[in-house]
């Protein structure tokens, strides 16, 4: 899966991942390969990313929106 995390100021991450855990408005959720298409609002919290190499990366966000479609995940974070 390809993940892009961007804020109004800069691109935080772009790369291939195996798992993304996100702080949704109604609770935390994960996106794995071949996830159904989804658009969701995000609340303040931590985005956890597991890269293909097994590295775990954490990003703190103050909210935003995520879209997942055809194994491409786009996160538009407030900051």
The pLDDT score that the predictor gives to residue 41 is 97
Where in the sequence is the domain holding 32, given as residue range(s)?
A: 2-77
The pLDDT score that the predictor gives to residue 40 is 96
DSSP string for residues in 12-68: EEEEEEEEEEEEETTEEEEE-TTPPPEEEEEEEEEEEEEETTS-EEEEEEEEEEEEE
In this prediction, residue 79 has a pLDDT band, given cuts at 50, 70 and 90, of confident
Residues with Cβ within 8 Å of residue 7, at least 6 apart in sequence: 76, 77, 78, 79
User: How many domains would you assign to the chain?
Assistant: 1
Q: Please tell me the pTM assigned to this model.
A: 0.92
Residue 37, domain CATH: 2.60.15.10
pLDDT digits (tens, 9 = 90+) for 31-76: 999 999 999 999 999 999 999 899 999 999 999 999 999 999 999 9
């Amino acid at each position: 899966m390809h993940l892009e995390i961007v804020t109004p100021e800069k691109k935080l991450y772009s790369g291939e991942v195996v798992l993304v855990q996100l702080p949704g408005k109604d609770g935390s959720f994960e996106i794995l390969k071949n996830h159904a298409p989804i658009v969701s609002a995000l609340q303040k919290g931590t985005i956890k990313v597991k890269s293909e190499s097994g590295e775990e990366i954490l990003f703190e966000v103050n909210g935003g929106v995520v879209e997942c479609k055809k194994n491409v995940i786009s996160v538009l974070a407030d900051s």
